[in-house]
Structure 1
Amino acid sequence: MAKAEGGKEPVNEQAVANMYAAMRSELNQIYSKITELEMEVSEHTLVTNAIQPLDQSRRCYRMIGGVLVERTIKEVLPAVQRNKEGLEEVVARLNEALEKKKKEISEFEAKYKIRIRKADAEVKDESGRKEGSAQGVLVGPAGGSE
């Protein structure tokens, strides 16, 4: 896939649209990876908070490469904290990459005068704005069965 700055320029509107879609896809992948890693950081925090006040010589189990290993809290706690710090660094780098990608996309949009049309704009106009904005919400029948 050619880049807008360094590589060859897109030949037609379809090539521009394809490049733009690829860039948006990359942006979405970065967003999802950040979310996934932030959840892992949260899990590491929960584990750290749960085992920190306990006796350091107490038995503790840790999953390492799919194998459950018995250790002590004294051995596991520093490893969990190091993993958490490493994950936080990766999240920070991904956030930097996200900002860079957003800037690249906005420059691409400006260069090729891209405006986003909402695919569901017609649906909202036909059914009213309030109903259109409630997409994804599942509500059971009003009366319900008792």
Structure 2
Amino acid sequence: MASKHEDDPNEPVNEQAVANKYAAMRSELNQIYSKITELEMEASEHSLVINAIEPLDPSRRCYRMIGGVLVERTIKEVLPAVHRNKEGLEEVIARLNEALEKKKKDIAELETKYKIRMRKNDGEMKDDGIEKGGSSQGVLVGPASGSE
């Protein structure tokens, strides 16, 4: 007896597998959101440091934490490193935003393909998929980590 999912071994085989895959994808999406938020906060802190030390005398002494060790440097030495770190953070944030958009697209495709609808807490249904008729069935999934 041949399986109807022979062409794609990663294809879920039943409603529970679809629900698990959907929940995992939603969890990954939430992780990306939280990482972006964390890095944006760090970039903001770098901006505050840059704005605070830029107008000061470049030969003035300042301290920088490197690998858990506080080292004494001058502003002239520290300012370029803080700028580089901020630029690196911004690049990572941009890549994470691209990954976020791709993950959103993948989730939307999964919702459409399996007619996934989210269950609201009060028992009402929010339809995210396209219903084609009364006889079509979809997968019902509860909210992922209460963020909906």
TM-score (norm: length of structure 2)? 0.77
Partner of 1:49: 51
Q: Which amino acid aligns with 2:19?
A: A
C-alpha distance 87-117 of structure 1, shift in aligned 2 (>3 A) = same
- Cα offsets for 1:2-33 (capped at 9, x unmatched): xxx96421111100000000000000000000
Match of residue 68 from structure 1: 70
Distance in 2 (CA, whole Å) between partners of 1:107 and 1:122 is 24
Residues 66 and 96 from structure 1, CA distance in 2 versus in 1: closer, same or farther, beyond 3 angstroms?
A: same
Q: Distance in 2 between matches of 1:20 and 1:57?
A: 56
3-state secondary structure, aligned to 2:72:
strand
Query: Does the C-alpha gap of structure 1 residues 73 and 6 become closer, same or farther in structure 2, counting only changes over 3 Å?
Result: farther
Task: Give the drift of 1:122.
Answer: 4.4
Point out 4+ residue stretches in structure 1 off by more than 4 angstroms. none
Q: Give the strand-richer structure, 1 or 2.
A: 2
Q: What per-residue deviation string (whole Å, max 9, x for no partner) do you get for residues 70-94 of structure 1?
A: 0000000000000000000000000
Distance in 1, Cα, partners of 2:32 & 2:100: 6
Q: TM-score, normalised by structure 1?
A: 0.78
Q: 1:27 is matched with which residue?
A: 29
The superposition leaves residues 48-78 of structure 1 with CA deviations (integer Å, 9 ceiling, x where unpaired) of 0000000000000000000000000000000
Secondary structure at the counterpart of residue 64 of structure 2: strand
For residues 87-113 of structure 1, the C-alpha deviation after alignment (integer angstroms, 9 at most, x for no partner) is: 000000000000000000000000000
The letter for the 1-side match of 2:32 is I
Q: Which runs of 5+ in 1 are unaligned?
A: 124-146
- Whole-Å separation in 2 of the counterparts to 1:77 and 1:44: 10
**1:79 and 2:62 correspond:** no
Number of residues of Structure 1 aligned to a counterpart in Structure 2:
118
Task: Provide closer, same or farther for how the CA distance between residues 42 and 13 of structure 1 changes in structure 2, counting only shifts above 3 A.
Answer: same
